Amino acid sequence: MIQPTYLSFTGHGNSCGEPPGVFTGAVMHLFGIEVDRNAVQRRLVDTLLNAVPNSPVRYSCFLDMALVSFMHIDKCTTPTEVIGWVPGNESAIWIPLLEKVHPDLLPTRIVLWAPYIFIDYAIGMVTGREVWGWSKAAATIDMPATASTSPSFNLCTMVFDHFGIDTQGHERLLLSVEGTAPLGTHSTWSDARTAVREVVARLSGVQAPKGPDPLGADLIIQTVALKQLRDSLTPKLACFQAIVNSPVEMTRFNGGGFHHGNFSLRVTTCDSHQIVADLTGVAPSRVTTTLPVRFAGWLAFDFRALPGAVVAQSI
């Protein structure tokens, strides 16, 4: 089938940029938290990735750890459809997954997937959804000052406390990460490969990980997303549904290292974002739940969000 030309709204209020996305001056703070891999598999992976019909791949959660990220980017732009640039903030929960291929279900690669991702600029939200399929939601994301002695990362978004026809949604604090010591600013990692290996070692519990380079020869982080469009005539069906590669190329390393002090993640209980149950398998009984952060770090870099091929398509 011949694909039609994309009809761009550039100059007419365009809100979807053409990849690759180019991001400079990014600083990402990463917080490692413990999860229940069986709960993550059942509630998230099997429901939102492995449920794609006729898929030749299957994903499995193989670690009891996940990453919560808060990232500020100085400049976000596209070089192929020149419009301009904007700054931006994003936050996400990242799950390491093992991708296996049918019929033998042999492991092929390790990928990252974010079932929860939030962003504070419209072009990034729409482009991320339409091009790669990331289920991004609008949010207000507050990053702490570097010199803060008690750093606090806060994410506010539209929340529905209880699902119901008479429930009004409202903006409220959903996630926050609080620390007891100033954020690290002195780089202790010499390059991107060292940084990724150190984070992988903390996630896996193996301080000197063996095996292939996590970034490969091209300094690319492998991620996947579920891209789907709801059918307009039959809304419970999808008119398009696929698992899509969303490769991220690190183009420049500007520093990084682990944070000192203790950090904790606080999650608000609500029906619209069942984060605690998704990650731990236990429904929260309080208004908020505090989860300990096992390690924290930062990474300063430039990167490109590259075009991604379809891994599996149901239609």
pTM of the model: 0.94
- Please say if the pLDDT value at position 203 is more than 70: yes
Instruction: Tell me the pLDDT band of 215, cut-offs 50, 70 and 90.
Output: confident
- Please say if the pLDDT value at position 209 is more than 70: no
Percent of the chain scoring above 90 in pLDDT = 81
pLDDT of residue 106: 65
Instruction: Tell me the pLDDT band of 15, cut-offs 50, 70 and 90.
Output: confident
pLDDT of residue 105: 66
Domain count, the chain: 1
Report, as an integer, the average pLDDT of 96-111.
83
Among residues 24, 7, 23, 28, the alpha carbon closest in space to that of 298 is found at: 28
pLDDT tens-digit series, residues 233-290: 999 999 999 999 999 999 999 999 999 999 999 999 999 999 999 999 999 989 999 9
Cα gap 213→197, rounded to integer Å = 8
- The enclosing domain of 49 has a CATH number of 2.40.400.10
Which structural domain, as residue segments, surrounds residue 66? 21-313
pLDDT of residue 185: 85
pLDDT tens-digit series, residues 163-176: 999 999 999 999 99
In a domain, residue 9? The reply is: no
**Residue 177 · residue 68 · CB < 8 Å:** yes
Residue 250, classed as helix, strand or coil, is strand
In a domain, residue 6? The reply is: no
pLDDT: which is higher, 274 or 107? 274
pLDDT of residue 107: 66
pLDDT: which is higher, 3 or 267? 267
pLDDT tens-digit series, residues 55-96: 999 999 999 999 999 999 999 999 888 889 999 999 999 999
226's CB contacts (< 8 A; 6+ apart) are 48, 49, 52, 133, 135, 241, 242, 243, 244
- Please say if the pLDDT value at position 210 is more than 60: no
- Please say if the pLDDT value at position 292 is more than 80: yes
pLDDT tens-digit series, residues 43-56: 999 999 999 998 99
Q: Which amino acid is at 128?
A: G
Percent of the chain scoring above 70 in pLDDT = 96
- Please say if the pLDDT value at position 154 is more than 90: yes
In a domain, residue 307? The reply is: yes
Cα gap 31→295, rounded to integer Å = 6
Among residues 273, 253, 257, 270, the alpha carbon closest in space to that of 187 is found at: 257
pLDDT of residue 23: 97
Cα gap 131→227, rounded to integer Å = 8
Ranking 44-48, 144-148, 211-215 by mean pLDDT, the lowest is 211-215
Indicate the average pLDDT of the chain: 93
DSSP per-residue codes, 107-170: EEEEEEEEEEEEES-HHHHHHIIIII---EEEEEEEPPPTT-SS-EEEEEEEE-SS--TTPPPE
pLDDT of residue 211: 56
pLDDT of residue 179: 94
**Residue 293 · residue 32 · CB < 8 Å:** yes
pLDDT of residue 3: 87
